[in-house]
């Protein structure tokens, strides 16, 4: 899937070198197809997520064109709930290059000049999270919910070197979506960083693709054991039900915009450095090629992969029970061009990073048959994507003491 980028293009020799030149305030979005690093701000808006974001994006891109930015792109991170705020950015400069395999980027190890990482807190704690899973299962048994995604957050005192973290994430997750995007939180600038395995929506011309993930197990370093777990996922009635809820919702939403929608009958297993996921790649041909990637992504958001089903009931349960504001976690992050082409990933496997602290997030889909201990273990395994890249996995052990 090709893309249309601004006229101000600069090419780095490799994706890793590209990311190691990251500066504070840059926007980064690396997909399996290409790497984009954007700097400076030509235009920007902060708008309520409950508003017509697709129209706001079109207006901003049109304004950029009127000011001479003829091939501008828009980048954004959009929150989980409509009550949040989305920042829409038209950058001044964009570096772009095709994505190729990279080697030689060392993991991020805390330098001797930095304080060791220290656990500050978590919401909810492991015991409370397991009780929360039990309450969710009870609601499912009563027919109030079919599925709900319940998350945890982990707060860590740590100083992170963002360029090396981004390069490490991109190298370790070559089939994923590595991103960095600044936002304001209580008057302070923070950076949302992550390596999402899940493509919400990509569009090129009249072709669209979405790759929902649901139904997961932690990955091990043992090849035979990973194969056993992958086979288990393929045949697990509980995990296949969880996955089918997401696929059906995505296909139903895309079906309103597409003809010739292709939905595989069977899921495959996607392997990341820390997890195994049931995966289905859905492809379609748009009825109207002028429909933008952001409009399509917003029509899918939030999928049952990050919220639940039915959506309203699941979102209400999350709001009342989870115990923290997800903000940009389980939202969407990506880019769109003036021609409507673009890529949007689900904002998972991520962390919100400040000057000396990090907040990490992970969730698990709860359905009938979910076991609290297994769901807790799944969230811990998902957090290890970011913790390992930052070289601070030890705080996870402290979190369970």
Q: What is the pLDDT of residues 179-225, one digit of tens each?
A: 999 998 878 899 999 999 999 999 999 999 999 999 999 999 899 99
The one catalytic residue in 95, 147, 375, 378 is: 147
What's the confidence (pLDDT) of residue 398? 65
Q: How far is CA 139 from CA 32, 146, 194, 195, in A?
A: 39, 9, 32, 32
Banded pLDDT at 400 (limits 50, 70, 90) = low
3-state secondary structure (DSSP) of residue 210: strand
Percent of the chain with pLDDT over 90: 83
13 pLDDT higher than 80 = no
pLDDT tens per residue across span 138-192: 999 999 999 999 999 999 999 999 999 999 999 999 999 999 999 988 788 999 9
Placement of tokens 């249309």 in the chain: 4
In degrees and rounded to multiples of 5, residue 295 shows phi and psi of -60, -40
Tokens of 231: 């086979």
Beta bridge partner(s), residue 180: 28, 193
What's the confidence (pLDDT) of residue 107? 44
Placement of tokens 């369970």 in the chain: 400
119 vs 132 pLDDT, higher one: 132
DSSP label at 302? S
The alpha-helical segments, DSSP class H, found in 117-159 are 126-141
Q: Does domain 9-103+118-399 have CATH number 3.60.120.10?
A: yes
321 vs 111 pLDDT, higher one: 321
How far is the C-alpha of 119 from the C-alpha of 165, rounded, in Å? 19
What's the confidence (pLDDT) of residue 104? 47
DSSP label at 197? -
Q: What average pLDDT does the chain have?
A: 91
Active site residue 322: no
Burial of 348 (0-12, 13-18, 19+ CB in 10 A): buried
How far is the C-alpha of 281 from the C-alpha of 25, rounded, in Å? 33
Count of beta carbons in the 10 Å neighbourhood of residue 160: 26
**Dihedral over alpha carbons 132, 302, 29, 272 (to 10 degrees):** 50
pLDDT tens per residue across span 250-292: 999 999 999 999 999 999 999 999 999 999 999 999 999 999 9
Beta bridge partner(s), residue 276: 217, 271
Q: How far is CA 114 from CA 20, 92, 191, 271, in A?
A: 19, 33, 19, 33
What's the confidence (pLDDT) of residue 106? 47
Active site residue 123: no
Banded pLDDT at 238 (limits 50, 70, 90) = very high
Q: For residues 168-202, b (16+ Cβ closer than 10 Å) or e, as one string? A: bbbbbbeebbbbbbbbeeeeeebbbbbbbbbbbbb
pLDDT tens per residue across span 76-90: 999 999 999 999 999
Burial of 401 (0-12, 13-18, 19+ CB in 10 A): exposed
Average pLDDT score over residue span 117-144: 96
What's the confidence (pLDDT) of residue 159? 92
Q: Is the pTM of this model over 0.75?
A: yes
What's the confidence (pLDDT) of residue 82? 93
How far is the C-alpha of 280 from the C-alpha of 195, rounded, in Å? 19
The one catalytic residue in 95, 171, 198, 295 is: 198
> 356, 367 in Cβ contact below 8 A?
no
How far is the C-alpha of 338 from the C-alpha of 42, rounded, in Å? 15
Of 181, 5, 163, 177, give the one whose Cα is nearest residue 88: 181
Packing angle between helix 126-141 and helix 372-390, nearest 10 degrees?
130
What's the confidence (pLDDT) of residue 99? 76
Average pLDDT score over residue span 346-361: 96
């Amino acid at each position: 899937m090709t893309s249309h980028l601004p006229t101000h293009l600069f090419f780095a020799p490799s994706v890793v070198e590209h990311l190691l030149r990251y500066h504070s305030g840059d926007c980064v979005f690396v997909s399996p197809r290409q790497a984009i690093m954007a700097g400076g701000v030509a235009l920007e808006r902060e708008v309520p997520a409950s508003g017509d974001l697709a129209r706001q994006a079109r207006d901003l891109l049109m304004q950029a064109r009127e000011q001479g930015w003829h091939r501008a792109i828009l980048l954004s991170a959009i929150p989980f709930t409509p009550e949040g705020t989305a920042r829409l950015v038209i950058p001044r400069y964009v570096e772009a290059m095709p994505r190729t395999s990279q080697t030689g980027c060392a993991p991020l190890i805390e330098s001797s000049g930095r304080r060791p990482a220290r656990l500050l807190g978590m919401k909810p704690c492991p015991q409370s999270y397991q009780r929360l899973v039990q309450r969710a299962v009870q609601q499912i048994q009563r027919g109030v919910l079919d599925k709900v995604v319940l998350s945890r957050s982990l707060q860590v005192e740590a100083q992170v070197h963002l360029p090396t973290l981004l390069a490490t994430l991109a190298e370790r997750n070559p089939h994923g979506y590595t991103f960095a995007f600044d936002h304001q939180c209580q008057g302070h600038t923070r950076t949302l960083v992550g390596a999402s395995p899940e493509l919400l929506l990509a569009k090129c011309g009249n072709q669209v693709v979405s790759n929902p993930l649901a139904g997961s197990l932690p990955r091990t370093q043992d090849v035979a054991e990973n194969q056993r777990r992958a086979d288990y996922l393929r045949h697990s009635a509980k995990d296949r039900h969880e996955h089918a809820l997401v696929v059906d919702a995505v296909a139903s939403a895309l079906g309103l915009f597409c003809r010739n929608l292709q939905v595989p009958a069977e899921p495959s297993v996607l392997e990341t450095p820390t997890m195994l996921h049931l995966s289905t790649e859905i492809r379609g041909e748009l009825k109207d090629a002028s429909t933008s990637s952001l409009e399509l992504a917003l029509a899918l958001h939030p999928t049952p992969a990050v919220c639940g089903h039915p959506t309203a009931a699941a979102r209400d349960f999350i709001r009342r029970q989870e115990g923290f504001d997800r903000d940009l976690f389980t939202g969407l992050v990506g880019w769109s061009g003036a021609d409507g082409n673009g890529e949007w990933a689900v904002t998972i496997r991520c962390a919100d990073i400040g000057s000396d602290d990090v907040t990490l997030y992970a969730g698990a889909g709860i359905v009938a048959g979910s076991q609290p201990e297994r769901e807790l273990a799944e969230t811990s395994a998902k957090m290890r994507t970011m913790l390992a890249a930052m070289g601070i996995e030890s705080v996870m052990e402290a979190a369970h003491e």
